[in-house]
Chain A
Amino acid sequence: MRRLSTVLILAICATVLWSMRPRGVRTAAEDIVPTVTEHQEGVLVLDLMDDLTPDQVASLEATLGMDLELSTPFSADEGLYRVKVSDLAAAEAAAEANPLVENAEPVRQFEALGYPDDPMYDKQWNMAMIDAPTGWRAGGGKGVKVAVIDTGVSRVEDLQGIRMGEGATFVPLTKTPEDDHGHGTHVAGTIAQATNNGLGVVGVAPNVTIMPYKALSAQGFGSSDWIAAAIDHAVDNGADVINLSLGGPYSEVLDKAARDAAKKGVVVVAAAGNSGQRGVGSPASAEEVIGVAAVGPEDTRAPYSTYGKGVDIAAPGGDTRNHGTDGGVLQDTIDGRGGHAYQAFQGTSMATPHVAGAAAVLIGMGLDAEATRDTLLSSAVDKGDAGWDEEYGYGRLDLGAAVTQTLVRRNGLQFLVGGLMAMGLAILASLKLSRTVPMVAAAALTAGGFFFLPLLPIAPNAAIDLLSRDLLTWPALLNADLAHFPLWVSALLPVAVAFVFGPSKRLGPLAAGVAVGFGTALLYGAAAGTVDVWFLGLGLDKLWLGVNGTICILAAMSVVGLQKLDHDGATA
C-alpha cells in the first residue's frame, strides 16, 4: 500500500512538472540539438587531403555529385569545405569512402538546425575561430555586467533585445552615452550582438548586460582622465568586466584606475595597439590588465598588431588590408547618417571584445576574476614560441577550451566532494564494503558525472555532453529553463528516490549515493552562485539551494541508517 501511494505521488509530481514546463520560450542559446536522424537534410563538412589541386577538387565534386564551397574564404589551405545535402547520413558515408576525403561530418550542434539563424553568421570566421557556440551553451554570460568604455553605444537594429544598463558620458559637451562615431557600438556588438534573432550577426556573450560609457569623442579620441573616471564609475556600478578598446602612451592615471578595478575583482581587458611595432602603451601594459593582440583570419598575428611586454593573449582582430572586408570583424553599428550598417572593421580594438565576452561567459559560469583570467590564458591555443611570447602572449583565445576546462574542473571537484561525503557517511555508520562502494560511486557520478570525458581525444557529441555532467544540469540538455525549475533544483527527486529505494538491500546504497551527489551539486550551486532558481532572487535562491542540499544529505543519512540496521540485523 505504501509503495502504491509513493508511486502515485511521484506520478502526480511528474505530471505537474511536465505540465508546468516552459513552452514556446525561445531562450537565447542554450537549446541543445538532437543527433542526426535518417534522411535529414543538412550541411556536411568535408576535410579533404591537404594540397589537392583545383582539378582534383573539381573531379571529387563530380564523383560525389556535390557542389563544394570553402567553409570560410580562408579554408583552402586546410582543405575544409562544406556542402548542403538532402540526406546527411548517406552523403557522409559516400564522402568518407572517397580517398581524397580525410574526414566528413555533419555541421555539429546549432548549425544543423539552422542555429543560430543570424543570416550573416557564416561571414563571422572570428566566432568559429574562438568557438563562440560553446560559450552560448554555457549561458552566454547571463547575469554578468560588461562595461564598454568607448565612443558610446547606440541601440542599433542588431542590439535590440540586448540588456543594456544605465550608461554615462565623460566627454565634455555630450549629454548621453549615445555613439557618435561607430566604434563603440561595433565593439559592444562583438560582445553581445543579439544572437539567433534572425538578423545580421552574432556576439560572443549575448546574455550579458552592457553598460555603455562614453569616454571618447566623435573623432575617437579621449584623455586619460575621462577614461579613468569611466573606469571608476564602472567599478562603482558593479561592472564584472571592463572592455577598453583604446590605448595611448604610458599614463599613470589610467594604469592606476585599471589596476584598482582589477584589485576590486573586475576583469579589465584592453587593446595592445595597432602600431605594428614593439611597445604596448597604457592601459594594456598594466600588469593586472589583460592586454589583447590581434590575429587575422589565417590565425597568425595581424600585421598591425602591437607586440611586446603587456600582450597577454591574442584574439581575432581581422585584417582588411590583406583580405578586404571578408577578413574584417563584422558587426552592426551606426552608419553616420542616422541609420545602421553591418561593417567589417580591423584592429586590436576588435580583438579585445572577444576576450571581454569570453571572460563574461566564464564569470557567468561562477568563476571569479582571477580564475577567469587564469582560465582564459591557460586554455588559449599556444602560438608563436612555446609558452608566452611577444606576439600572441599565452596564445590565441579559445572560448570552447576555456568552457570545457571550467566544466571539467567544476564537475571534477563535485565528483570528489560527492564521493568523499559518501565515504564519510559510510565510515561513520561502519557500512560494509559491499554497500559502501556502490554508494560512493553513485554519489561521485551523480555529483560530477564522468567529468573527464571531454578531455579524451573523442569528437564532442551528445552522449559525452550528457555523461560528463552532474545530474542536476541534465535537464539543461532538453531546455535550459528546466534546469532552473525550483522543484528540480530541490531535494524532491533525491528524497523520493531515498524513500522508495532506501530500504532495499541492493538499491538502498545507490539511492543514498544519489542523494549525497545531488545534495553536493545543490550545495556547490549555493556556494558558488552558479545555479539560478526561478522565481527566487535576492539571495533567496542560495538559501533554497542550501536548505535543499542539506535535506538531500539528511535523506542520505537516514538511508544509511536503514542500511546499517539492515546489516546489523542480518549479522545479529
Chain B
Amino acid sequence: MSRYEGTLKREFFGGEIWVLRAKDGQAYQLQGKIPAELENSQVKVKGSASDAAFGIAMVGPILDVASIERA
C-alpha cells in the first residue's frame, strides 16, 4: 500500500474516469469508490497498483483505492 497526493480530476475517455494528478505531473487512474464531491480538490490517496493494469483510459498507472480524503 502506498500513499499518493494530488488533485482529483474527473475525465472522460470512453466513459467517466477519476484521475489523480500528482504535483510532478504523473497521472494515476483511480479504481474504487470515489466521492464525487472531492472533484478538483487536493486529496490524499492510499492505494496499490492494480493487477488489471491495462485499460481503455490509458492516462497512467491504475490504483486500487483503499482510502481517499481531502488533503
Interface residues of A (CB under 8 A from B): 150-151, 181-183, 186, 216-217, 219-224, 227, 245-249, 251, 254, 271, 273-277, 281-282, 304, 306, 320-321, 345-350
User: Knowing that A222-B55, A349-B13 are A-B contacts, what are 16 other residue pairs whose CB atoms are under 8 Å apart, sorted by A's residue number?
Assistant: A151-B56, A183-B15, A216-B56, A223-B53, A224-B54, A245-B14, A245-B56, A249-B61, A271-B58, A273-B58, A274-B58, A275-B27, A277-B25, A321-B11, A347-B57, A349-B58
B52 in contact with A217 (CB, 8 Å): yes
| Interface mask (B27-71 → A, CB under 8 Å = 1, otherwise 0) | 100010000000000000000001111111111111000000000
Residue of B nearest to A151 (CB): B56
- What chain B residues lie within 8 Å of A350 (beta carbons)? 14
Point out the residues of chain A lying under 8 angstroms from B56, CB to CB.
150-151, 181, 183, 216, 220, 245-246, 347, 349
Task: Name the CB-closest residue of A to B32.
Answer: A219
> Looking at the complex, which one of B13, B17, B55, B60 makes contact with A216 (CB distance below 8 Å)?
B55
Q: Which of chain A's residues have a CB closer than 8 A to the CB of B14?
A: 181-183, 186, 220, 245, 345, 347, 349-350
* Least CB distance, A218 to chain B, in whole angstroms: 10
How near does chain A come to B66, taking the closest CB pair, in angstroms?
Answer: 17
Contact partner, B13, options A222, A223, A227, A345, Cβ 8 Å:
A345
Docked CA distance A345–B15 (Å): 8
Shortest Cβ distance from residue A143 to the other chain B in the assembled complex, whole angstroms:
29
A248 close to B62 (CB less than 8 A): yes
Docked pose: A227 CA to B52 CA in angstroms: 10
Q: Which residues of B approach A to under 8 Å, CB–CB?
A: 11-15, 17, 25, 27, 31, 50-62
> What is the CA–CA distance of A281 and B60 in the complex, to the nearest angstrom?
9
| B-chain residues with CB within 8 Å of residue A276 when the two chains form the complex | 27, 59
CA distance A247 to B13 in the complex (A): 13
Cβ contacts A to B, 14 pairs, < 8 Å: A181-B56, A183-B15, A216-B54, A220-B14, A220-B17, A220-B56, A246-B56, A248-B55, A248-B58, A248-B62, A274-B13, A275-B58, A275-B59, A349-B14
Selected contact of B58 from candidates A224, A254, A306, CB within 8 Å: A306
Q: Which of B11, B17, B54, B62 has the most CB of A within 10 A?
A: B54
10 nearest interchain CB pairs? A248-B54, A221-B52, A273-B58, A183-B14, A347-B13, A220-B56, A247-B58, A221-B55, A248-B53, A274-B58
Pairwise interchain contact B12-A221, C-beta atoms closer than 8 A: no
The CB with the most chain A CB atoms within 10 A, among B52, B56, B59, is that of B56
How far, in Å, is B16 (CB) from chain A's closest CB?
A: 10
- Closest-CB distance, B27 to chain A (whole angstroms): 6
The CA-CA distance from A87 to B38 in the complex, in Å, is 58
Given A249-B61, A275-B59, A277-B25, are A223 and B52 neighbors across the interface (CB < 8 Å)? yes
B3 CB, min distance to chain A CBs, angstroms? 20
Residues in B neighbouring A251, C-beta threshold 8 A: 53-54
Looking at the complex, which one of A183, A223, A277, A320 makes contact with B54 (CB distance below 8 Å)?
A: A223
CB < 8 Å neighbour of A219 from B11, B25, B31, B61: B31
Per the bound structure, the CA–CA distance linking A274 and B17 in Å amounts to 12
A217 / chain B contacts, CB cutoff of 8 Å: 52
Interchain CB contact under 8 A, B15 and A247: no
